[in-house]
Amino acid sequence: MCNVLTRTVASLLFALGCIFFTQDSRAVGPEENGAQPTQPITVACYYFPNYHPGDPRNVQRKGADWTEWELIKAAKPRFPGHHQPKIPEWGYLDESDPRVMEKKIAAAADHGINAFIFDWYYYDDGPFLNRCLDEGYLKAQNNQRVKFSLMWANHNWADIFPYKRGAEQTPLFLGQVTPETFTRIGEHVIQKYFLHPSYWRIEGKPYFSFYDLSKLMENFGSVEATRAALDRFRAQATASGLPGLHLNAVVWGRAILPGEGQVADPKKLVNDLGFDSVTSYVWVHHVPLPEQQTDYQQVRDQYLKYWDSAEAKYDVPYFPNVTMGWDPSPRCRQSDEFGNFGYPFTNTISGNTPERFREALEITRDRLRKRTEGPRIFNINCWNEWTEGSYLEPDQRHGMRYLEAVRDTFAESTAQHERE
């Protein structure tokens, strides 16, 4: 009897010990210890779609086969140490070909890019430069590998392809549209893009960005009328079965392109118009370039100060930017004297090696990891701004090294995205 009792007590103690050990040693999930689940960092990348033939406006002005590759081919060194022309390792590809876009998507996905933000143009008479997205990306068999979204590039379009120094920069197409056109834009983007399974969403809501807040205001004439139009845009989306929209505003402190305008109080305007987030397009919107070859590290460090101020200033999340470079000299007439005379005759960023670009990515990653609230998102300028000297696509000088810098820096976030 004693032996039986002893064995029984021992079994109970063993069982209790197992329960205690299991509870004590198992991994405690973030929800159980009060912490929030760690969000992976989302890497978005701007895409500029002027590298395909056949757009009616370009055909009318430049000819049937013209693309912005022609400016890249014609570019020349303009000062000592100036690296031009940039020669694409993949050749001068037609981005409206789905097979070409499949190659781009595969490279982006394999190197940690989660979303393209297409520079998207729509004027009063309809879309512009849309064949890259509509014929290329949307017909690519692998487009689910990299999400897509739109930044309405609602700025004036000037003839700077190339620009003759001193010529009057009269807009060819105006960024301002009528309220009726804006309603058509809402219907178009919801039905053609937002409902697509590959469209990028933040917390379930399609991301849609506005490049120029001053032009947006000109559409409607007042803050109140603009807010009402954006509210109607959101209502259009919910009526189509979407949970709403994530509306983003690009803000800057320095105008770059001809006709760009600055708003007096961007924080107040962002709040009054009900935007969900703010972001940047390129470092030079915030940092002056005092020298013909301004060092990359100098520009980076000044931008990081802007990032600090933006996070403190705005009441909505700020999505930071990493810029690969800046050199719009291919858009200048190559026979003209080169200098800092106004876009595209501007000072440049120099020393933007893949290693320095990687350092900027690492700083961005480490800062975003410390973010305790809101989504961890940043964007890169740019996937293919070849004529502004800011691109990730491989060239004959550095190959895939800029893309490899993204891949290596965000390998952990890429794996987490894949698990989710």
Q: Domain range holding 351?
A: 40-419
Q: Helix, strand, coil proportions of the chain in percent (round to 5)?
A: 40, 15, 40
- Confirm whether 25 is domain-assigned: no
**pLDDT tens series, the chain, 420 aa:** 434 334 443 444 433 343 333 333 323 333 333 334 578 999 999 999 999 999 999 999 999 999 999 999 999 999 999 999 999 999 999 999 999 999 999 999 999 999 999 999 999 999 999 999 999 999 999 999 999 999 999 999 999 999 999 999 889 999 999 999 999 999 999 999 999 999 999 999 999 999 999 999 999 999 999 999 999 999 999 999 999 999 999 999 888 888 777 787 999 999 999 999 999 999 999 999 999 999 999 999 999 999 999 999 999 999 999 999 999 999 999 999 999 999 999 999 999 999 999 999 999 999 999 998 889 999 999 999 999 999 999 999 999 999 999 999 998 877 777 776
CATH of residue 283's domain is: 3.20.20
Q: Is residue 107 part of a domain?
A: yes
Domain contains 340: yes
Number of domains in the chain: 1
Is residue 33 assigned to a domain?
no
Tokens 């976030």 label which residue?
413
On whether residue 1 sits in a domain, the answer given is: no
- Burial of 170 from C-beta contacts in 10 A (0-12 / 13-18 / 19+): exposed
Query: Nearest-CA neighbor of 86 among 329, 386, 393, 401?
Result: 386
188 falls within a domain: yes
Q: Given the DSSP bridges, would you call strands 390-391 and 384-385 parallel, antiparallel or unpaired? A: antiparallel
List, in order, residues 6 or more apart from 117 with CB less than 8 Å away: 44, 45, 46, 47, 148, 149, 150, 151, 200, 207, 209, 379
Q: Would you state the structure tokens that stand for residue 152, as one six-digit string?
A: 């309405």
In a domain, 18, yes or no: no
Residue 2 lies in a domain: no
Q: Residue 282 burial by CB count (10 A; 0-12/13-18/19+): exposed, middle or buried? A: buried
Rounded to the nearest angstrom, the gap between the alpha carbon of residue 370 and the centroid of all alpha carbons in its chain is 21
